[in-house]
Amino acid sequence: MLARRRPAGPGPTALLLVALLAAEARASWLIRRPLSPSGPELRQAARAALHFFNYRAASPSTVRVLKEVLNGTALIREEGENIKVAFSIESYRTENSQLGTCSALVGFKDHKSRPTVNISCTPLLDQKERKKEDYKLYKQIKQLETPPFETTIPGKLGDMDPSLQPLWELAMIGNSFLMWEKTTSTSSYYYVQQITNIKKWIRPDDFIILHYRLLLHEFRTQEIISCHLHLVWHPEKPSKTQYHCQDSGTQENGSGNSEGSGFL
Amino acid sequence: MPMAAGGPALLRLIMRGLPILSFLLTVAFSQKMFSGDQVLRIRAKDQKQLQLLRNLEDSEDLKVDFWHAPARPSLPVDMRVPFSNLNAVKNYLNSSGISYTIMIKDIQVLLDEEKKGMSSSRRLERSTSSFRYNAYHTLEEIYTWMDNLVAEHSDLVSKIMIGQTFEKRPIFVLKFSTGNKSRPAIWIDSGIHAREWITQATGVWTAMKIVTDCGEEPVLTNILNHMDIFLEVVTNPDGFAYTHSTNRLWRKNRAVNSNSTCKGVDPNRNWDAGFGGVGSSNNPCSETYHGPFPHSEPEVASIANFIQKHKHFKALMSIHSYSQMLLYPYGYRKEPTLDNEELHNLACKAVEALSQVHGTDYIYGRAISTIYVANGITIDWAYEHDIKYSFSFELRDTGIYGFLLPASQIIPTAEETWPAILTIMKHAYKNPY
């Protein structure tokens, strides 16, 4: 048997080259991570996506509510995560009892809010129906007398006067913008509990201006945050939202503003 | 039974009848059951005095009821002493050199004053059949309803006072029992967080459901033939009253915190299980402030002491809102419990039973991974105190109305939650340990 000479080991230069190449490759690696449909990450992504959708659609008569997360995966990048998620939704207006599905790609940047969202949902109503319903609500709000300053929607018993429901539905557009902006990756999520101190104007160009105070429930800390929100809306034109929140413990202020389109 | 004529047999008969007679008298005068009872506050100076106090607790005859059990010297020990044993207990304390103050001179007076307040408030329901289960109620209305329930179903239900809140409101637990000896038991509490109004309302409906189904529905009847159910409907009375009078979104109790103008401790962070960790706050102004030490809060201590004294609790369910979840331990540790698989499967069954009623979707799992890390929570303490089947419910909804759930959803929520509760109770009954 011929003795074999062991091949020479890689020289130091070769080692350095391999190390450099590996580092280069790792930077652009996208690690795919399967996620449980009942897990918190997918739920968080679905929430952020739906808030974004509701605010961009700016259609108070077809606000959607999350029903069930169906499936999804996470793609881990250096600066955060992209989460692909599919979920079922239902119409906020339970009397319609319509169902639908959405699929979205949500980009969370590490510890930064305002996740990027790319989303498409099945329509709840056809475009003509939706326009009709939004205009109906628009007329109701125009004709409505502004409720007294101390009126809360809902009331403390969870009651909502039917005449005030259009205001609550319109406010959900502004609330959705606020909740989307504040939703970070897996740390916090928010729900609006109540609105009050409602002021309503009609601008000369027929836009409705709604200004109100809202109580936001932050789930992880269980804190209630008071915010003021200013919403400018018209059924067929881009809407605009501005808000200013006061953090209960730290007096920290957060604010933001945006434009949402009339339809998607 | 030998029918011996004459004195000794007759005496024996009377002796046998005495307990029954006194029981009947107690039932007849049940409204005045606490007359003359006092609550004493003791500060034990050292371990020796603490041990003397514990001896008191062990004495069956004196029937002393600790609201704040003997834990460490310098921590107050509060105990309720029945009127008939006051002299004996006070003599014992005096001769042992243990100083005490009388915190409540006569519990009955306190309860009477509470009742007077209730009768002067609006809308007093006369019976549980006219009680509106599809509406939210005040503390007074719920306490009145409780008395009505006990009066109408005294063979099954009794009311026990297990403690007193910071603002001196009584803390009541309803006991459902068809037996007269200590049986393995199930604990249910609702309203530990004041603003979660759907939970107290569900607790009320659930009590009504138990009295309705007992003797009629086979599964529950079977359970009650072997186990007792304890239901604390308003676990945080001070907080609950505050949500009615002042701030509808108040969560904690109304404890005054030293060194802070902020009031309240989160009762669901005050339990002695991973107390003080990152899943709670040490800032009195925070909604998850854990309090100065474990069981510092009477709302928590009263339950812990009651459960530990009873010694036979087999299942515990703590009812919260909102999120539509069914959770089991741990909240404070990443590691699953040794019973993880069994608890997971049981939660699965319970949630399935729930969804059959109105199609409501619930998620279930370990608290830490399903909701968030939380330290010092009820179910973790219960699990670590040998109550294997410890679950936390988060009722409707998922955020549309949150805490301000419309009253129209009370009965549907209670109706769907009941089969889940029953599933857990049935499992505990069929799997004794």
pLDDT tens digits for range B306-338: 999 999 999 999 999 999 999 999 999 999 999
Residues of A in contact with B352 (CB under 8 A): none
Lowest mean pLDDT of B33-42, B56-65, B111-120, name the range.
B111-120
Contact across the interface for B136 and A220, Cβ inside 8 Å: no
Quick check: A100 and A89 in contact, CB under 8 A? Answer: yes
Q: Which residues pair with B163 in a beta bridge?
A: B171
Q: Could you tell me which residue, B399 or B24, shows the higher pLDDT? A: B399
Cα separation, B76 vs A47, in Å, equals: 47
Spatial CA neighbour of B314 closest among B192, B428, B414: B428
Domain boundaries, given as residue ranges, for chain A: 31-121, 127-263
Would you state the pLDDT for residue B11? 62
Closest-CA residue of B relative to A176 is B400
Cα separation, B247 vs A251, in Å, equals: 20
Helical axes B86-95 vs B47-58, angle rounded to 10°: 160
User: Which one of B286, B364, B370 has the shortest CB-CB distance to A249?
Assistant: B286
Lowest mean pLDDT of A35-49, A212-226, B195-209, name the range.
A35-49
Out of B140, B141, B394, B416, the active site residue is: B394
B207 has a chain A CB within 8 A of its CB: no
Would you state the pLDDT for residue B379? 98
Residues of B in contact with A248 (CB under 8 A): 285
* The residue count for chain A: 264
Would you state the pLDDT for residue A29? 54
User: Which one of B197, B251, B364 has the shortest CB-CB distance to A222?
Assistant: B251
* Nearest chain B CA: its distance from A147 CA (Å): 19
In the predicted model, what is the mean pLDDT of residues B131-150? 97
Cα separation, B284 vs B260, in Å, equals: 7
Contact across the interface for A191 and B365, Cβ inside 8 Å: no
Question: Looking at the predicted structure, is the pLDDT value of residue A27 above 70?
Answer: no
How confident is the model over B229-274, as pLDDT tens digits? 999 999 999 999 999 999 999 999 999 999 999 999 999 999 999 9
Cα separation, B316 vs B390, in Å, equals: 5
CATH architecture of residue range(s) A31-121: Roll (3.10)
Structure tokens that stand for B143 in this block? 């306490």
> How far lies B359's CA from each of A157, B201, B362, B416, in Å?
24, 20, 10, 9
Contact across the interface for A158 and B404, Cβ inside 8 Å: yes
Q: Is the peptide bond before B322 cis (omega within 30 degrees of 0)?
A: yes
* Nearest chain B CA: its distance from A201 CA (Å): 26
CATH for B127-430? 3.40.630.10
> How far lies A72's CA from each of A87, A106, A182, B324, B363, in Å?
9, 11, 22, 21, 17
CATH for A127-263? 3.10.450.10
DSSP letter (8 states) at residue B256:
B
Cα separation, B371 vs B325, in Å, equals: 8
Would you state the pLDDT for residue B102? 79
Q: Could you tell me which residue, B344 or B85, shows the higher pLDDT? A: B344
Contact across the interface for A221 and B288, Cβ inside 8 Å: yes
Structure tokens that stand for B133 in this block? 């289960």
Structure tokens that stand for A152 in this block? 């809360």
What CATH superfamily classification does B38-105 receive? Metallocarboxypeptidase-like (3.30.70.340)
Identify the residue among A165, A182, A224 best suited for mutation to test binding to B, counting B beta carbons within 10 A and taking the highest: A224
Query: Given this chain, do its domains A31-121 and A127-263 carry the same CATH topology?
Result: yes
Lowest mean pLDDT of A96-100, A129-133, B107-111, B209-213, name the range.
B107-111
* Nearest chain B CA: its distance from A156 CA (Å): 6
pLDDT category, B120, cuts 50, 70, 90? very low
Quick check: B127 and B147 in contact, CB under 8 A? Answer: no
Give the CA count within 13 Å in the CB-facing half-sphere of A2: 3
The strand order across the sheet containing B170-176 reads B157-164, B170-176, B228-232, B185-190, B313-321, B389-395, B325-328, B363-366
Note whether ipTM > 0.85 here: no
User: Which one of A38, A66, A223 has the shortest CB-CB distance to B398?
Assistant: A66
* Residues above pLDDT 90, as percent of chain B: 69
Question: Looking at the predicted structure, is the pLDDT value of residue B51 above 50?
Answer: yes
Contact across the interface for B369 and A39, Cβ inside 8 Å: yes
How confident is the model over A133-177, as pLDDT tens digits? 999 999 999 999 999 999 999 999 999 999 999 999 999 999 999
Residue carrying structure tokens 């007096």? A251
* Active site (annotated) includes residue B394: yes
Residue carrying structure tokens 């309302």? B201
User: Which one of B136, B369, B402 has the shortest CB-CB distance to A157?
Assistant: B136
Structure tokens that stand for B164 in this block? 């007193």
In the predicted model, what is the mean pLDDT of residues B280-285? 97
Domain boundaries, given as residue ranges, for chain B: 38-105, 127-430
Instruction: Count chain A–chain B contacts defined by CB atoms under 8 A.
Output: 69
The full DSSP string for B396-432 is: S-SSSSTTS--GGGHHHHHHHHHHHHHHHHHHHHHS-
Residues of A in contact with B243 (CB under 8 A): 156
How confident is the model over B217-226, as pLDDT tens digits? 999 999 999 9
B249 has a chain A CB within 8 A of its CB: yes
Lowest mean pLDDT of A38-47, B131-140, B158-167, B349-358, name the range.
A38-47
- B51-54 CB contacts, 8 Å cutoff, 24+ apart: B52/B92, B52/B96, B52/B98, B53/B77, B53/B98
